[in-house]
Amino acid sequence: MTNKPPRTIGSFPSTRMRRNRGDDFSRRMVAENKLSADDLIWPVFVIEGNNTREEISSMPGVSRLSIDLLVEAVGDAADLGIPAVAVFPYTDPSLKTPDAKEALNPDNLVCRAVSAVKKAHSDIGIVCDVALDPYNSDGHDGLVRDGIILNDETLEVLCKQSLVQAAAGCDIVAPSDMMDGRVAAIRKALDEGGYEHVRIMSYAAKYASAFYGPFRDAVGSGGALKGDKKTYQMNPANSDEALREVAMDIAEGADLVMVKPGMPYLDIIRRVKDAFGMPTFAYQVSGEYAMLKAAAGNGWLDNDKVVLESLIAFKRAGADGILTYLAPEAARLLKS
């Protein structure tokens, strides 16, 4: 909530706002927010193969990694103090079906990646997306029948997908599908499966955004996608509705909530944090990363400065943490 400045404030010349800005020590002393590696969750893309690295052209500096390289990269991230990674699979198109059954394969790519990472680095948290889009031949997050994205039928599959991920060693399942009722259904399934310790980070206020474009290249779901996601993801025009989404997910058992995309939705982060005081996360999405890197790559913006400025903005807006492709880079900058 924005408070009005108190009436007791002095005026120029007795009050000079610039005094506290005059030196590095006092700027640091009065800083209201601080960014640290602890605030960063690093989303990563995994592919089949060995010693394989594939660049993603719409995300300069980001690659899909085979499991062996991913394990190394996650080790570096852990050394930088990054507390968690979010693992996204690039699924071979031949495995995509209308029932998205590869999502339930306990030996699928993301499950193998999770258990390999967990085995090598037991101290870093692992987040997995719960949604069918990497596995669905229609590219949608839910099951599709006659062009309709089915809600309740999808929930059953999402529950099974969560169980498979939990069994692989995932610490936090992150439903990104925006089906109604999924948090409650997944919580129940996890508890009944003996995974009451597995946390749920819900993509609670997730907007139907064009900023996801590069991500869909990265996981190979963009080409498959028929139509758009507007019947389940939120309308960018809405803000009260975000609070209702978040309230529902909290009531259903979400441990952590997320607002996505990030920078164009800082107002939503602030409202969510003020309304609920929950651990609140922002996702600085692929398109935001692409914009920043495109401008920096052309020499139009100072890369290091905009990286840190974009991230502190999330903290100021009330986020407790940020999912960002910039995580290792930012953690390195914070160290230097």
Question: How far apart are the C-alpha atoms of 258 and 85, rounded to whole Å?
Answer: 15
In this structure, how many other beta carbons lie within 10 angstroms of the beta carbon of residue 180? Answer: 15
Which positions ≥6 away from 78 have C-beta within 8 Å? 121, 123, 124
Q: Which positions ≥6 away from 162 have C-beta within 8 Å? A: 130, 173, 175, 186, 189, 190, 198
Q: Report yes or no: 165 and 111 within 8 Å, Cβ to Cβ.
A: yes
Q: State the nearest-atom distance from the C-beta of 143 to ligand PBG, in Å.
A: 14
Per CB under 6 A, does 217 bind ligand PBG?
A: no
Q: Select from 18, 219, 185 the least CA-distant residue to 109.
A: 219
129 binds ligand PBG (CB under 6 A): yes
Which stretch, 11-19, 64-72, 211-219, 297-305, contacts ligand PBG (CB under 6 A)?
211-219
User: Is there a catalytic annotation at residue 206?
Assistant: yes
CA pair distance 302, 62, nearest whole angstrom: 19
Smallest gap from Cβ 220 to ligand PBG, in A, equals 12
Angle at 90 between CA 85 and CA 93, to 5 degrees: 160
Active site residue 119: no
* CA atoms of 106 and 164, how far apart (whole Å): 5
Q: How far is it, in rounded angstroms, from Cα 238 to Cα 266?
A: 13
Q: Least distance from C-beta 70 to ligand PBG, angstroms?
A: 17
Question: Which residues lie closer than 8 Å to 248 by C-beta, 6 or more apart?
Answer: 180, 183
Q: How far is the CB of 130 from ligand PBG (least distance, A)?
A: 9
Q: Report in angstroms how near the CB of residue 24 gets to ligand PBG at its nearest.
A: 35
Point out the catalytic residue in the list 260, 273, 293, 315: 260
Minimum CB separation from ligand PBG for residue 276, in Å?
22
Q: Give the whole-angstrom CA distance, residue 99 versus residue 78.
A: 36
Does residue 135 interact with ligand PBG by CB under 6 A?
no
Residues between 227 and 256 with contacts to ligand PBG, criterion CB under 6 A:
229
CB closer to ligand PBG out of 212 and 281: 212
Q: Closer to ligand PBG at the Cβ: 156 or 191?
A: 156
Size of the site for ligand PBG (CB under 6 A): 11
Q: How far apart are CA 298 and CA 276, in angstroms?
A: 41
The one catalytic residue in 206, 273, 293, 315 is 206
Tell whether residue 215 is a contact of ligand PBG (CB under 6 A): yes
Of 77-85, 129-137, 264-272, 307-315, the window that binds ligand PBG (rule: CB under 6 A) is 129-137
Span from 191-199, 208-216, 292-300, 309-317 in contact with ligand PBG (CB under 6 A):
208-216
Is there binding between residue 176 and ligand PBG (CB under 6 A)? yes
- Asked whether the beta carbons of 259 and 281 are under 8 A apart, the reply is yes
Neighbouring C-beta atoms of residue 123, cutoff 10 Å: 7
> What residues numbered 250-289 form the site for ligand PBG, per CB under 6 A?
285-286
Residue tagged 């309304």 (tokens): 275
Q: Which of 42, 212, 265, 314 binds ligand PBG (CB under 6 A)?
A: 212
Say if CB 218 and CB 246 are below 8 A apart. no
Q: Which CB, 154 or 286, lies closer to ligand PBG?
A: 286
Our CB check for ligand PBG shows the closer of 54 and 68 to be: 54
Which residues are tagged catalytic?
206, 260
> Which residues contact ligand PBG by CB under 6 A?
129, 131, 133, 141, 176, 212, 215-216, 229, 285-286
